[in-house]
Structure 1
Amino acid sequence: MNRQNAKLTSGIDWSIVGLYMALVIIGILCIFAAEHREGDPLWYNIIHVNKSFSKQIMWFGISMVLATGIWLTDSKFFTATANLFYAFGILLLLVVIGIGRDVNGSHSWLVIGGFQFQPAEFTKICTNLALAKYLSLLETDFKKLRPRLIAAAIALVPAVIIIAQKETGLALVYFSFFLVMYREGLPGVLLVIAFSAVVLVLSALLVENKQILFVVFTVITLLVVYFMRRQIRRKRSLLVLIVAIWAFCSAFVVVVVPYAFTKVLKDYQVKRIYVMLGKDDDPKATYNTRQSMIAIGSGGLLGKGYLKGTQTRYDFVPEQSTDFIFCTIGEDFGFLGCIIFLGIYVALLLRIITVAERQRSTFSRVYAYGVASIIFFHLFINVAMTIGLAPVIGIPLPLVSYGGSSMMTFTILIFIMLRLDADRQMVLR
């Protein structure tokens, strides 16, 4: 029996399992703290089946069943069925548009009996598998333009459908796959261009007088031309490129950004961005972020203590069990508790990257980097959102925020990676 057990657990990366369990336990405790009210017996939330605390334990139990099933599955199954999973995920997203249900303004939920399911979460797994499958094909030369465009399409097609479901937050997560592509050879200049586009958008929003930006771009362009005059003399096409960049930047801030914010984005999306930039002080629009920042700030260095957070106990912060669960940690355990908590995530991400780099197959490496990128994106946006550095877009904290779809998605993502890694180690033996 001992030999059977040893063989069953052979090759598992216990450090990742330990970090996974730590985050799940912290999440369950934080959900309990967010729901606990002064005067309630401690056992009340435990036995009350309608409480998020009890439901999250149930989702964790289901996730463990799924994890066990994945562990007992040959890793070749995931390679062979990657494209089928992707097609199924896209089909689910399309079904949601037709028969989905609106929840909190998002038309992204399927309801089967009493069970609510968000396919946009599940499709992250499908997309990660499909991208890993495509980049691992022998005929895929990622140095060429066509394979890069196909890889981008694999990541962005689900995002476009999810945006149609009014779930912009989860749609943005799919851009995390470009970090994976960067690891596989996507030119760094494209990331620079993306960062520059963000800077241009911010400048267009923060500066009211667009003529000032036009003058600034013109002066910068003239200075570049002056300092590069020798290179321009030798290569006239360089001047054309510089002028084209100047024209694009000017048109982008003067025409494209204003058009997008008046004709493309919804009013609530624009309001959230303006709130983040401090250009909208509407009490209703800023309420969630202000209360979250008050809760985190009131925790001080060491926090008020578990179950002693006033902002949490008296329902000042909305969505305390889901999007804003980080403020519960900040209020109860303070700055030091937040640092330790974020340290667990950093340790998990570093360990996943280590696992990714030791893979012998491109499929396993790309998939592992996809897991790390998704977790990083969720973590960064969620924490930034709760402290006012990002707009409120409804992205859960991985394995910590309440939600069955989120819990099962991250569990499946991680345990498929562990299964792939375990088979690699067995081959080495």
Structure 2
Amino acid sequence: MNRAQSKLTQGIDWPTVGLYFALVIIGLFAIFAAEHRDGDNVWHNILAQNKNYARQTMWLGVSLVLATLIWLMDSKFFTATANLLYAFGILLLLLVLAIGHDVKGSSSWLNIGSFRFQPAELTKLFTNLALAKYLSSLETDFTKLRPRLIAGAIALAPCAITILQNETGLALVYFSFFLVMYREGLPSALLVIAFSAIVLVLSALLVENKLILFIIFTVLAGLTIYFSRREIRRRKSRLFMIIGIWAFCSAFVTIVVPFAFTKVLKDYQVKRINVMLGKENDPKATYNTRQSMIAIGSGGLFGKGYLKGTQTRFDFVPEQSTDFIFCTIGEDFGFLGSMIFVGIYVALLLRIILIAERQRSTFSRVYAYGVACIIFFHVAINLAMTIGLAPVIGIPLPMVSYGGSSLMTFTMLIFIMLRLDADRQMVLR
């Protein structure tokens, strides 16, 4: 019996499993705290089946069954079915466009009887597998343009369909795969361009008088030309490049960004971004963020104690079991508790990176980095959202926020990685 048990668990990375369960348990306690109210009988609530934490416990059971099945599978199954699963995921996303149900403004849900789930969550897993499959192919030379474009299309196709479902938060997560591609050889210049574009957008939104930005860009271009005059004498193309960058930046902040914010983005999306930038005066638009920051700030250094958070007990913070679950942790356990909580995520990410770097196969390495990047994006955006540094776009905390689709997806993401890691002595390329 001991030998059989030892063989079954051979190769499993226990620190990762421990961190996974730590986050899941914290999530269950946090969801319970978010729903508990003064006068409620604690033991009666624990046994109640109509509460989110009871449903989350059920989803945890389903997730652990899936984790067990994944662990018992041959790791070659995931390389063999990666493209098929990706096609299935795209089909599900398209199906949502046709028969999806609207939940709180997002038409990204499928109802099958009493069961409801978000295909966009599951498709993250399938996209990660498909990208790992493509990048690990012997025919893929990622130093060339065409393979890079194909890899980008693999990541952006589900992203585009998810945006059509009005699920911007989950759509943004698909951009995390570009960090994976960067690890595999995507030029760093593209990251510089991406961050530069973000700076330009923020500049266009924060500076009302676009003439000031035009003057700044003109002065910078003039100084660059002056200090590069020797290089320009040797290479006239340098001058045209500087002028081109100047023209692009000027047009981007004066034409492209204003057009996008008036003609492309919806009113509620513009309001959320303005709330983040402190430019929104509508109390209704700023309510969620203000209450979230009040709840976290009221926790102080050590917190008010478990089940004693006033912002939580009096229902000031909306969606506290899902998008704003971090408020419960911040209010009940304070700054120190929040830092320990964030530290668990950091430890998990570092552990996943360690697992990725020790892989012998490209498929396993790319997949593990995909898991790390997906978790990082979720955590970074959610925490920034709750403290007013990012728009409220409805993105859950991995393994902690209430949601069956999210919990199952992250469980499968992690345990497929653990299965691949256990078989790392086998070269899967």
| Range of TM-score over shorter length | over 0.9
Q: What letter matches 1:62 in structure 2?
A: V
Q: Note the alpha carbon deviations across 1:101-131, whole angstroms, 9 max, x for none.
A: 0000000000011111100000000000000
Measured in 1, the distance between the counterparts of 2:200 and 2:42 equals 51
Measured in 1, the distance between the counterparts of 2:186 and 2:281 equals 40
> Match of 2:111?
111
1:426 CA drift (Å): 7.0
Q: What letter matches 2:31 in structure 1?
A: I
1:425 CA drift (Å): 4.4
Q: Note the alpha carbon deviations across 1:247-292, whole angstroms, 9 max, x for none.
A: 0000100110011001111110001001110111210000000000
> Match of 1:187?
187
The answer to whether residue 409 in structure 2 is matched with residue 409 in structure 1 is yes
> Match of 1:99?
99
Give the secondary structure class of the aligned counterpart of 2:316: coil
Q: What letter matches 1:40 in structure 2?
A: D
Q: Where does structure 1 lack aligned partners over 5 or more consecutive residues? A: none
Residues 323-362 of structure 1: matches in 2 within 5 Å?
323-362=323-362
Measured in 2, the distance between the counterparts of 1:22 and 1:91 equals 34
Give the secondary structure class of the aligned counterpart of 2:110: strand
Q: What letter matches 1:221 in structure 2?
A: A
Give the secondary structure class of the aligned counterpart of 1:116: strand
Q: What letter matches 1:389 in structure 2?
A: L
> Match of 2:81?
81
> Match of 1:385?
385
Measured in 1, the distance between the counterparts of 2:405 and 2:62 equals 11
> Match of 1:143?
143
Question: Contact 1:381/1:395 (CA < 8 Å) preserved in 2?
Answer: yes
Q: What letter matches 1:19 in structure 2?
A: L
Measured in 1, the distance between the counterparts of 2:309 and 2:427 equals 51
The answer to whether residue 279 in structure 2 is matched with residue 279 in structure 1 is yes
1:45 CA drift (Å): 2.1
Q: Percent identity?
A: 79
Q: What letter matches 1:407 in structure 2?
A: L
Give the secondary structure class of the aligned counterpart of 1:107: strand
The Cα RMSD (Å) is 0.9
Q: TM-score, normalised by structure 1?
A: 0.99
> Match of 2:197?
197
Question: Contact 1:323/1:396 (CA < 8 Å) preserved in 2?
Answer: yes
Measured in 2, the distance between the counterparts of 1:116 and 1:281 equals 36
Question: Contact 2:355/2:368 (CA < 8 Å) preserved in 1?
Answer: yes
Measured in 2, the distance between the counterparts of 1:404 and 1:197 equals 35
1:78 CA drift (Å): 0.1
Q: Note the alpha carbon deviations across 1:22-46, whole angstroms, 9 max, x for none.
A: 0000000000000001111111221
Question: Contact 1:321/1:402 (CA < 8 Å) preserved in 2?
Answer: yes
Q: What letter matches 2:12 in structure 1?
A: I
Give the secondary structure class of the aligned counterpart of 1:110: strand
Q: Note the alpha carbon deviations across 1:363-415, whole angstroms, 9 max, x for none.
A: 00000000000000000000000000000000000000000000000000000
1:139 CA drift (Å): 1.1
Q: What letter matches 1:2 in structure 2?
A: N
Measured in 2, the distance between the counterparts of 1:403 and 1:229 equals 59
Question: Contact 1:11/1:425 (CA < 8 Å) preserved in 2?
Answer: no
> Match of 1:175?
175
- Count of paired positions: 428
Q: What letter matches 1:81 in structure 2?
A: T
Question: Contact 1:100/1:111 (CA < 8 Å) preserved in 2?
Answer: yes
